[in-house]
Structure 1
């Protein structure tokens, strides 16, 4: 525990005095700390912007890929059948009827209590599997079958009176999962036969063709189109594939929203705010205010989204994508839909051209190695590290200065104390001399 010498001889509050001196001498370090805080705030804001620009680059790149807007939707006239599309779908239609659903084979043993301690044989998928249970216990039989990899799952089912049946179910549906099973002394009954689903194309005509599937899903009935049957159809149904205007519109609308998200963030971080307090009115500039890098990124994306497209070049406003007076983008779904109806291929091509330009501008800004925003962030992070080193140096310097001041003032107090003691001694001596002279 330190000893305070405050005012022992001088009457001064040396601790407060040293604190005042140190506060003054620490001013350069305080300025460095404030600068570091400001730069770190800017780095955080730039990182947020960079993340949004990178997301826009990914979104726009996907929209610009060949075939990205070749979107089609499929429907059927039957509620018992669901249609889905994948890449490569094209407009078309076909009549069909679901005449059979897929089944998974289920085979049952007769009622048993235990199992004859013999060898069981399962034929499945063109292979023969010999299974020997560890004991006649039914649980051991189930374990042995399930471990054999024979494409069959066994279960023990209680049927009352202390008796059980073993159920054997194929692991694959349809004829692909068909199996046979035998064991001396045990009989087996098929509760469900292995069965493929069947689809009749051009049902009811002389061109009718049967198509089968081991599941209830038929892939590529039309290019890029699959249908899944939930039940049989009682009559002929129609599969229709048409251009997905809603999906294409959403891609274009989402692209405009992505661009506006960048503009909104830049605008919010560039806004100048004022606040009023007792001392008057204070004006504060946003973090991005006057920043040339951010301004360039914003302008490049705006140009990419608003400059003419197509051959000959035409304004994107003709397909419902326009720039507003405030410098943001606007999407008119009605106008876009009309353009799509009039020229689907041309409209999609213009959207993809815009997407390609936006992807290039956003990638140039956010690339993790060469992006302009990335480079600026890296430079400012380096400056923060440099400031941290300088602040640390000031800690050492100020600690040394404080120790010096404490030593100086402590020495002063000791010196003053000694002088006071000497003064008291001299005063006493002089007093003694005076008394002796008077006595004589």
Structure 2
């Protein structure tokens, strides 16, 4: 069988078919990677990446290029694991021994290891609805059944979760900055979730993807704080938001008795993280540079957030609403009325060169909301002001040329 490819050539398919998981992989591939255009969620810029101190550490590490380039332990080098434990205590209130830390390339890899080692195919996992589409697909890829739990202004709806007739094997939750809604779970709710999960013998997989990026003076503590013995909590984090998007280095924190199994499972995939990166980041943290970098980063992102909020207030209140994010680098814009956000997103990208990730595909159920996930971390204040003007112009253009939406315009 032959099929025409994107470059007009013909691809001959093998006689044997892929297994049932292949469609999940292909559908995830179709989500694509956002180009570095306004409102992209992961777009680096010179103001937010580490500066001179980082370059000095990289240069120092490369002076003897064959060092830190051999095989190392899959759980990470001790210096890196100690540095992670240090920064988690300082910024997330988590008390852990470095021997509870496992280095991973990113949160996604950590979640994949959880799916492989904690569950059997067919097990039920409670997830946020809406939630991160790629993580939903990842859990499906490993044969797990998703139980969608609504998200309220206080994050995961615990009333719905606690009323389930049969408790799930695990709960995947992003309490610090729920994606995409930006809801933050209260401290009391975090404690209640941990107590319930412990009572029901249910794992909590805490996705702390924006853990280092807070616009609040006193960020909420991690759920792991309420599980000091690490009986049922796995904490996942990454440095891609605080260093730069292409920096593939993250961590898992777990009960120490689990570390050998998780580290061993890494040997079946990419074996280990880049030791050079581990050395540089460990030194960056231990020499106090990460702390000063975070202060600068938070000030920059707070300013950009405020500019974007002000521009949305000026230009887009006629179309939708949004919440003020307490953490992270994106805003969730929700249309008042049902608009095909997937088609509109493609229209804006093609004609107006802005990237507005659609909200509706993040839902697992039919009771969807429609809107955009607007990133601001990688763009200057001036770029955001221009981009909001372009966004308004693009929305008006789309509505005016779509007869079924003509009643939406107030003028």
Question: TM-score scaled by structure 1?
Answer: 0.15
Structure label with greater radius of gyration = 1
The structure carrying a bigger strand percent of its residues is 1
The structure carrying a bigger helix percent of its residues is 1
